[in-house]
Structure 1
Amino acid sequence: MTTSPTEIRATLDEAPARPSAGVAPAAGQDPSARSALVRWLSVLTLGLGVFAIVTSELLPVGLLPPIAKDVGVSNGVAGLTVTLYGAVAALTAVPLTVLFGRIDRRWLITGLMSVVVAGNIVTAIAPNYTVLIAARILMGFAHGVFWSTVPGTTVRLVPERHTVKATAIVLSGISIASVLGVPLGTFLGQQTHWQVAFYAMAGLGALVMLGALTLLPMLPSQGRADVRALPALLRHRPLVTALLVTTLTMIGHYLAFTFVAPYLEDETGLDSGLISVLLLVFGIAGVLGNFVAGATVARSLRKSLLGAVGAMAAALLVFAALKDVSYVAYPVLIVWGLAYAALPVCLQTWVMQSAKGQTDSASSLYITSFNGSIALGSLLGGLVVDHIGLASVTWIAGGFAVAALIAAAVGKQRSDA
């Protein structure tokens, strides 16, 4: 049996709302109205933080060719800027979340965003590839802890009746960053210089850091991820299947998407100036996909999930088969963007349904799976590009998506039975 939407909401609503301490109401303003305003500004700050940290993770994707040229490495080696970031985030999410679990959430989030700011600045000024990679690894350490901390913090910022809405706002930063942040960063980097895009993300991170300091209340730890719950969760078939589908879809996506810029330029034959436009098309489609998924998942998670995975598989295979037909890139990227943006909503909902009351621990496993798959996908993509050929990435990525579709169809049918 699946968990009902009511039960999911009850799980999200477990943590009590906390008052927005430390912010005085403006003169002549109703204190309760000011409190509500501060609460929602705090939620928006966390959502902006999600957007900033996910965009920072994926920003090299659209700028690989100029980055590789400037630091003197191949596109495949430059792809390690995504691979190592994701690998570090995946490997350290659980242990570092436990280690820093007793720190007040306002100070923890502020500190994590300061690492993101510093990492983006060092990335922009890196004189060589070694310094560039070191900066990306540093940011990876902050990423996993941030993701483990933000969902639980969000539900403490608003009254219980608003926790689902607040959580949806914050988590929408994932899809918007993936499908819009990267294209916008690519456009900025191509119109100026790739370093400018990273300076922009440092500025955005500084804004989030300031917002966390001034808007978030003091939020002492109320509970931490319990590593002792992990073995039991890993024996729960629906959750394991959800994690498997997450792994397969994200490997497939990032295997191809990490190298989409050189693929469009070298294989499809498009002018480099059109690549940023195409990625913006991908992003706009993704924003629409995020809204569509939010509306359809509540009605039928299974149909939404299978539709998103199936559409991504079809888009990748068509792209592989018709790469020489340049205009095909436009509809393919639209479908791909729609499908990918829907996936985090579908997958995270499935994980929440399968959490057996251990939402923090299940979330840490999801974070590990998601970020580990980013690392594996970009690593495999780099190996394919350097040893087999750029033309093969979409075929292999499509194969992973097909495998994910089969696993999702079989696994979701069993869990619904």
Structure 2
Amino acid sequence: MDPALAHADAVALMPGDALKVGDKPASPERPAWGAVAAMMLGVTALLTAEFLPSGLLTPMARDLGVSPGLAGQAVTATSLAGLVGALSTPTLTRRFNRKPVLLSFSILLVISNLLVALAPSITFLLAARIVLGLAIGGFWAMAAATTIRLVPPSLVARALSIVMSGIPAAMIIAVPLGSYLGEVASWRSVFLLATALGAAVFVIQALALPRLAPRGEAGLDTLIDILTRPGIGAGILAATLVFTGHFGYFGYIRPFLESVTGLGAAGVAATLLAFGVANYLGSFASGLMAERKLKLTLIAMPLAISVIGLLLSVLGKDVIPALVLVALWGFAFSGVPVATTTWITRMVPDETESGTGLTVASIFLGITIGAAGGGLVLDLMGAAAVFVAGAIPLVLAALLIATKVRTRAP
């Protein structure tokens, strides 16, 4: 079977799911694959910028004269702003054509990357990353609801899987490649390249995306209604905990590989490449698992990541175990975005955009807590302790999902 088709089958948004209450997605006679590809490139460019600090943390901290833990707050600033963007975008843009709104996020991406590349201080850099966070949160809040309007109902799952493939692509580009280029050139040069990537994506989106009229209304009452549905609140909290643990790990993987495993720049880049490739390959297998055994997938992924983190804290001083465990971690995490998207679209098929925005906000909250907490643990207790502390929210998430989360709408 074609991997793209296998991955597409794993996305459980049913063809008839509505974008808003009583509002079904458009059904064009011909799928707009160019527009779908443009959406995927938007995901890739935005998440590449988001993940870059994880691979460039050491040179960024050294150049700016701050600790790695403080430099890691570039992730915290981005995710906190992303939370705001995800919650506010459906409401603030509900009367605007979707194309210019999406293009505005690409403009913010370009501005943020350029400002980061020129940042004279950590304060300036954090402010620039807030701009990026608003763009990422807003884009993700609209991504699924926009994509399902670009193709006929029978091709919705395939289109969503293509857009989501931008996640592992960004992990491969940002962390290993960014880490390598940061050593051979400079971390500022890497962000200039990310600026060029964002500009290219803007041009492609301007040419490929159709004009999409706004649909329906969304407000605070919609979010409250979703949260009060059975099992939704517990699922949102579980998503927050999963991303707290994962990004407590991921934001500080480079200091760990340098200080505990003893790798140089080339070794770090190779290990992070293993993470990205395993994550990409795992997205297909875990997607099929999510379709067939959604609750098991939701429970198994955070448990697996927690065990891998604990093993890294003990065995990570040796190169081969560290490489294998990081690759397994990438494979295990690949199921989290697919399973989370599958879950929310099954549970709130009548409120795709608002439900997705709420889930994205919970994810950014988790990233904020994980990045902030991981930086504190790194500075106070060292890199190995980060992987012990990060296991706690992951285990709690698995327990919460097992006991409180539903995977079928009542």
CA drift of 1:270 comes to 2.1
Counterpart Cα distance in 2 of 1:241 and 1:208: 36
Q: What's the counterpart of residue 125 of structure 1?
A: 118
CA drift of 1:350 comes to 1.3
Counterpart Cα distance in 1 of 2:407 and 2:139: 33
Structure 1 residue identity aligned to 2:195? A
CA drift of 1:415 comes to 6.4
CA drift of 1:179 comes to 5.2
Q: What's the counterpart of residue 320 of structure 2?
A: 327
CA drift of 1:235 comes to 2.0
Between 1:338-347 and 1:399-408, the stretch displaced more is 399-408
Counterpart Cα distance in 2 of 1:368 and 1:413: 20
Q: What's the counterpart of residue 303 of structure 1?
A: 296
Q: 1:5 to 1:318 in 2, by over 3 A?
A: closer
Between 1:377-386 and 1:137-146, the stretch displaced more is 137-146
1:139 paired to 2:132? yes
Counterpart Cα distance in 2 of 1:211 and 1:334: 33
Aligned equivalent of 1:76, options 52, 69, 77: 69
CA drift of 1:53 comes to 0.6
Q: What's the counterpart of residue 112 of structure 1?
A: 105
Structure 1 residue identity aligned to 2:26? P
1:17 paired to 2:23? no
Q: 1:157 to 1:223 in 2, by over 3 A?
A: same
CA distances 1:97-146 after superposition (whole Å, capped 9, x unpaired): 31122221221111210110111111112122222112111111222111
Q: What's the counterpart of residue 201 of structure 1?
A: 194
Q: What's the counterpart of residue 254 of structure 2?
A: 261
Q: What's the counterpart of residue 338 of structure 1?
A: 331
Contact 1:71-1:128 at 8 Å conserved across structures: yes
Q: Matched residue of 1:221: which SS?
A: coil
Contact 2:347-2:409 at 8 Å conserved across structures: no
Aligned equivalent of 1:55, options 43, 48, 57: 48
Counterpart Cα distance in 1 of 2:79 and 2:231: 25
Q: Matched residue of 2:213: which SS?
A: coil
Q: 1:408 to 1:197 in 2, by over 3 A?
A: same
Q: Matched residue of 2:228: which SS?
A: coil
Superposed counterparts of 1:158-307, under 5 Å = 158-178=151-171, 180-307=173-300
CA drift of 1:412 comes to 4.4
Q: 1:216 to 1:394 in 2, by over 3 A?
A: same
Contact 1:308-1:339 at 8 Å conserved across structures: yes
Give me the TM-score of the superposition, normalised by structure 1: 0.89
1:8 paired to 2:9? no
Aligned equivalent of 2:311, options 318, 325, 328: 318
Bigger Cα Rg:
1
Q: 1:82 to 1:6 in 2, by over 3 A?
A: closer
1:41 paired to 2:34? yes
Q: What's the counterpart of residue 374 of structure 1?
A: 367
Contact 2:55-2:176 at 8 Å conserved across structures: yes
Contact 2:112-2:129 at 8 Å conserved across structures: yes
Q: 1:416 to 1:135 in 2, by over 3 A?
A: closer
Counterpart Cα distance in 2 of 1:298 and 1:150: 20
Counterpart Cα distance in 1 of 2:266 and 2:195: 25
Structure 1 residue identity aligned to 2:162? I
Structure 2: gaps of 5 or more residues: 1-9
1:153 paired to 2:159? no
CA drift of 1:150 comes to 2.1
Say how many residue pairs are matched. 397
Between 1:282-291 and 1:86-95, the stretch displaced more is 86-95
Between 1:75-84 and 1:380-389, the stretch displaced more is 380-389
Q: What's the counterpart of residue 23 of structure 1?
A: none
Structure 1: gaps of 5 or more residues: 20-34
Counterpart Cα distance in 2 of 1:201 and 1:156: 29
Contact 1:265-1:271 at 8 Å conserved across structures: yes
Q: 1:132 to 1:314 in 2, by over 3 A?
A: same
Counterpart Cα distance in 2 of 1:17 and 1:296: 28
Contact 2:89-2:141 at 8 Å conserved across structures: no
CA drift of 1:278 comes to 0.3
Give me the TM-score of the superposition, normalised by structure 2: 0.91
CA distances 1:58-102 after superposition (whole Å, capped 9, x unpaired): 210111000011111110110111101100110232224311222
CA drift of 1:7 comes to 7.2
Contact 2:141-2:357 at 8 Å conserved across structures: yes
CA drift of 1:308 comes to 1.9
Q: Matched residue of 1:298: which SS?
A: helix
CA drift of 1:5 comes to 8.4
Structure 1 residue identity aligned to 2:81? V
Q: What's the counterpart of residue 24 of structure 1?
A: none
CA drift of 1:360 comes to 2.1
Aligned equivalent of 2:92, options 76, 87, 99: 99
CA drift of 1:287 comes to 0.5
CA RMSD of aligned residues (A): 2.3
Q: 1:414 to 1:209 in 2, by over 3 A?
A: closer
Contact 2:112-2:131 at 8 Å conserved across structures: yes
Counterpart Cα distance in 2 of 1:10 and 1:414: 18
1:407 paired to 2:407? no
CA distances 1:185-205 after superposition (whole Å, capped 9, x unpaired): 223223321122212221121
Structure 2 residue identity aligned to 1:9? P
Q: Matched residue of 1:8: which SS?
A: coil
